[in-house]
Amino acid sequence: MDIELYNKYKKLGRGNWGKDLTMWKMMYLGFLNQYRDEEFTPILDLLLNIFLDLPKARKEGKLVIMHSFNYGPELFHAMDLEPLMQELFSVGLAPLHLNEPYIDFSNQIGYGDNPTICNAQRPLIGSFMQGASPIPDLLFFLSTPCNSLAMTYQVFEHLAKIPAHSIDVPYWAYEQQDNEFYDENTIAYMVKQVKDLIIWLEKEKKQKLDPEKLQETMKNVNQSREYILEFNELLKTVPCPVPSQAGFGNFLSMVTRGGTDDAVKATKWLRDSALENVKNGIAGVPDEKIRIAWPYTHVFFDADLLTWLEETFNAVVIMDILGYYQVLPHDISTLEKCYESLAKGTLDFSMVGTCRGPIEFYIEFLLNYVKEYKIDCVIIPMQFACKHAYAIARVASEAVREQTGIPVLIFGCDPYDSREVTSDAIRERISEFLTQVVL
């Protein structure tokens, strides 16, 4: 980023953001400094503006709606609400280990511990009680992918006394095509809940949804989805045209700014970068030797882990489960079709699509990932509190070994807390696996 741009963003961050946004402002300045010497990309632009938009929304009297990481905010943008993807706060603190004091405080007050409640959201409780978390006007969350998430949001709802709404995500498939898990009620059940959500938002905002604005927003969503699908296809190329973290930019764009021009710009830029590199035979990781599937979340407290893998083993992580965004563009020609698209977008969202139903959904996802992306090995860092995923990963790893012969490493750690299993221990475990099993 050139110095003028850096100074511009520094200036934009000045002023009083409000008491509950003190930590939010610190995060903004932290990211700005962290990326000071990096190339200024549409993804970085988007990230910085997410932070700036919150105090701006407050000043403009716009309602802020906090939502969980497994939901695309297009409807909120269409209704001119300011979405705040909560985990950007509670997980965004992890690379600097600033979430750990709040994890400890949550322990002290007796709100769970690592094996029972996930530390992706738990710092929200501790930080709220210490006056450090952003306080939204409205709260929205899903029932999936885990009880842990839904539980923490309910606790937050009652502690902060914020009007809240949630959607119950059904278990079954919605596409018939000889699918043994098909249930004809799946889409109707979801569309009904989308409509209920709109009624609730209209009541809270005291303003009706503008159908034209929704259609415009959904056009943008479709456009971004097309770019992402192309990007995902391009990553099948050997060598992979982008480095390990690139795919996460698509997730960040869609989960924070889905439906906006900013998300269209960011996803287009990622697609264009991958395409350009494929055309020129440029690898994301020079001299690529190992292609890794990472079908779970990153180890968020260790921001350098994937760079270390690239530099030490010439290994590229193709995409993590969040970055592997797979929602298709939909027919949005009528208002009813827009509702259906919102319903399908929720059912298929990153992690929700693979983890909301029978174990076969995840197994199929992982087998396709391994086969289509010419994967050499699978690595899954598994969170202690994520008990359902532990079981899923173990069974899926057996299917991968049997059907493809590709080795799988599952290791326990807390991706949000550097003190449970340290960075060094994780690197040792991965090194052992790559040198003794994969190479």
For the CB of residue 9, give the shortest distance to ligand SF4 in the complex, in Å.
31
**381 phi/psi in degrees, rounded to 5:** -80, 120
Q: Is 79 in the site for ligand SF4 (CB under 6 A)?
A: no
Q: Is 120 in the site for ligand SF4 (CB under 6 A)?
A: yes
Q: Is 389 in the site for ligand SF4 (CB under 6 A)?
A: yes
293 with 373: CB under 8 angstroms? yes
- Between the two ends of the chain, the Cα-to-Cα distance in Å is 38
91 with 360: CB under 8 angstroms? no
Region binding ligand SF4 by CB under 6 A among candidate stretches 21-29, 76-84, 212-220, 380-388: 380-388
Q: Please give the Cα distance from 224 to 215 (Å, whole number).
A: 14
**DSSP code of residue 437:** I
Which residue, 72 or 259, is less far from ligand SF4 as judged by CB?
Answer: 72
**Residue 64 burial (CB count, 10 A):** 19
Q: Strand pairing partners for 260?
A: none
Residue numbers 147-186 binding ligand SF4 by CB under 6 A: 148-149
For the CB of residue 386, give the shortest distance to ligand SF4 in the complex, in Å.
3
Q: Is 383 in the site for ligand SF4 (CB under 6 A)?
A: yes
Q: Please give the Cα distance from 221 to 219 (Å, whole number).
A: 5
Q: Is 380 in the site for ligand SF4 (CB under 6 A)?
A: no
For the CB of residue 342, give the shortest distance to ligand SF4 in the complex, in Å.
22
Q: Is 354 in the site for ligand SF4 (CB under 6 A)?
A: no
For the CB of residue 146, give the shortest distance to ligand SF4 in the complex, in Å.
3
For the CB of residue 91, give the shortest distance to ligand SF4 in the complex, in Å.
9
291 with 316: CB under 8 angstroms? yes
Region binding ligand SF4 by CB under 6 A among candidate stretches 47-55, 335-343, 382-390, 401-409: 382-390
Q: Is 145 in the site for ligand SF4 (CB under 6 A)?
A: yes
Q: Is 396 in the site for ligand SF4 (CB under 6 A)?
A: no
Which residue, 88 or 389, is less far from ligand SF4 as judged by CB?
Answer: 389
Q: Is 299 in the site for ligand SF4 (CB under 6 A)?
A: no
188: CB partners within 8 A, 6+ apart: none
For the CB of residue 7, give the shortest distance to ligand SF4 in the complex, in Å.
38
Q: Is 214 in the site for ligand SF4 (CB under 6 A)?
A: no
For the CB of residue 64, give the shortest distance to ligand SF4 in the complex, in Å.
22
Q: Is 85 in the site for ligand SF4 (CB under 6 A)?
A: no
Instruction: Give the Cα-Cα-Cα angle 116, 118, 124 (nearest 5 degrees).
Output: 120
For the CB of residue 320, give the shortest distance to ligand SF4 in the complex, in Å.
12
**Which segments of 254-407 are extended strands (E)?**
290-294, 315-320, 377-382
Q: How many residues bind ligand SF4 (CB under 6 A)?
A: 11
For the CB of residue 227, give the shortest distance to ligand SF4 in the complex, in Å.
26
**The length of the chain, given as a count of residues:** 439
Which residue, 148 or 244, is less far from ligand SF4 as judged by CB?
Answer: 148
| CA-only gyration radius of the chain, Å | 21
Q: Please give the Cα distance from 158 to 5 (Å, whole number).
A: 42
**Residue 73 burial (CB count, 10 A):** 25
Q: Is 318 in the site for ligand SF4 (CB under 6 A)?
A: no
Helix axes 147-160, 122-129, angle to 10 degrees: 20
Q: Is 385 in the site for ligand SF4 (CB under 6 A)?
A: yes
46 with 266: CB under 8 angstroms? yes
Interface residues toward ligand SF4, by CB under 6 A: 118, 120, 145-146, 148-149, 297, 383, 385-386, 389
